[in-house]
Structure 1
């Protein structure tokens, strides 16, 4: 009787365990297609596109040097805008070759240090790879140099200013070329790195996806509207302040995050396997997928309805930006906490947002 007494509960436990194991096996998700889709349809084409855009910028700038007219400068400025937009679509992949080249910082640091830039132009002998010049080069430095009120006159009269732009563009082209070449070998590591270990490519993809979304929220909106300065606005922290394309870059950054979540290709026309498919395959996570998707759709469409620059909105309708920032902030927990937890990925980057 004692044997029967203990055997029945034991059998029940084994049966429950077996059923649970079977259930887990049924919802097992192959992350390989996510990695292949991201590598072949978004990341590698995205870096190739950025290289093409930077090469076009170099060509336009060289054309200007041969004929220093406003028309030629305007062509170079448009090439700069195109490069900046392309950068928004790859800056979330700050691992592998991009980390080696430090491209997220060398291309995207803002606001630039105008004092350092002017000093470099005046004195010469600068090293753009030196740490003190991190915020004296890259895309935001070109925003300052291309869009200051007397830009054309300075370029026409100051050879060192032209040389400085040439050096920045040359550095950018060298760095993006290294990243494009590096992905030729790194692709295999990336698509096969589907484990949840903190150093695996899949974990790095999830971490950098969340990190880039937070940086978009904090640097593009939070700092300028005064979120870190007791509500005192800081327009000097705006990205691309002089050209006024900060709203466009905000939209493109969110568009890129949205594409990663959905598994879209670079053109946005093809919906492949993405984070949303992974969530939909997990028990009780389909609603989380729907929530994140709806939030991305809202954050992508809303800034497109704004007709003013971010700096103009800071004056005319500060509540618009404050509300949008709050919506971004409330979306963080869905991705950084809920989604990452559902994937079994540990968030390893440090959040210095402070809010």
Structure 2
């Protein structure tokens, strides 16, 4: 059973060839329109709905059109502010020789959608190489930013973490990534390989670089399956939008899946997107997703992302077995079991409490709870 209302799914699939979902034939009555628009706003679908209304595929009243136009303009204004922040981050990193790739919202909007307004976003996402991660954090903090979370020990995120969120003085957030996911499946991403290819795009007259086409598709899959549960409907649209792109090199996608041990992630993402958006078009990736059977090891790895309880501790415990070198495993365990006093003060209050919680989490992961 879907967790998204039927009309929300129809808006998510707006403009996609092969979707069996349809829009209403008459404007929605006001008692239905109001909760519908709440869902559309929460799922960041105002741009897609505005496109459907603009070409006459989704009928609305004069008042409803005005409400939608206001919400669409507000979302576009946020994206514009974020684009300006992205350009400032780019200037900062370029000035210090820090390589980076733009991720998610801005890159998807400007590269993958016919109109960037169809794909609003809520923060700036940037990937930097592991060896320059701490430098990038210091640069953002020096510009007035504040890290939202403390890492267990200095250098932990650079070696093992997904990244850090930095809140700027203007209230906007920059998510600085080292890899594409937290937990065990973030450990298997070839982070160096993420910088081998690139897709150029332009923001404010300046050329920026996003991930290569195939890496961008896999990141969309990671975001849809390994991020918030359930994901925003827009995350599923991203998966479908990229999977249906005829320029996608499916052979290279499978090579990356093998290298990253991510076949189960991509199969789950495509399968969910095809189901929720009722897509009937069969492409190589949808055929692959429909028949793929994850191994027990893959199922255990995916389970720690879908668990409603203690998602981060479970992911952290499960990640241990995906760290190849014994020396690195020891450093990882030491940082999590005996982190800095500042970290303890904000979370567990005592080292004993930290140890007890860690042992319980590891046992739960081993049992598959």
Relative to the length of structure 1, the TM-score reads: 0.27
* Higher RCO structure (Cα 8 Å, ≥6 apart): 1
**TM-score, normalised by the number of residues in structure 2:** 0.26
Between structures 1 and 2, the one with greater strand share? 2
Q: By percentage of residues, which structure has more helix? A: 1
For the pair shown, which has the larger CA radius of gyration, 1 or 2?
Answer: 1
